[in-house]
Amino acid sequence: MKFFKKNNIYFGMVMGILGPLAAYAVIYFLNHYASEALNDGRSILKEDTIRMTSVFLNLFIYLPYLHKKEYEMTGRGVLLMTFIGVILIFLTML
């Protein structure tokens, strides 16, 4: 896919934001439907766990850009958004 082969920090930042948002939505709805079907409506995962998991999955976006020198700036953008996401999560957990 030629679309993902860009070396731009802003492109990396957008990917670093959209990746965890998509992962959060998928995990949230899977948790919601699984809790209704399997756990009598009680949530299986806590909200903080879903947030941390979605930001952690952002590192799988970062790994391909880590190994290729020509996409270094994109990788930096993804990593920057990962760090900002982790800091925001820890601040909201206080």
pTM for the model: 0.81
Rounded CA gap, 33 and 41, in Å?
9
pLDDT tens string 61-93: 888 877 777 888 888 898 999 999 899 988 988
pLDDT digits (tens, 9 = 90+) for 7-18: 888 988 999 999
Show the 3-state SS of the chain: CHHHCCCCHHHHHHHHHHHHHHHHHHHHHHHHHHHHHHCCCCCCCCHHHHHHHHHHCCHHHHHHHHCCHHHHHHHHHHHHHHHHHHHHHHHHHC
Is residue 21 pLDDT above 90, yes or no?
A: yes
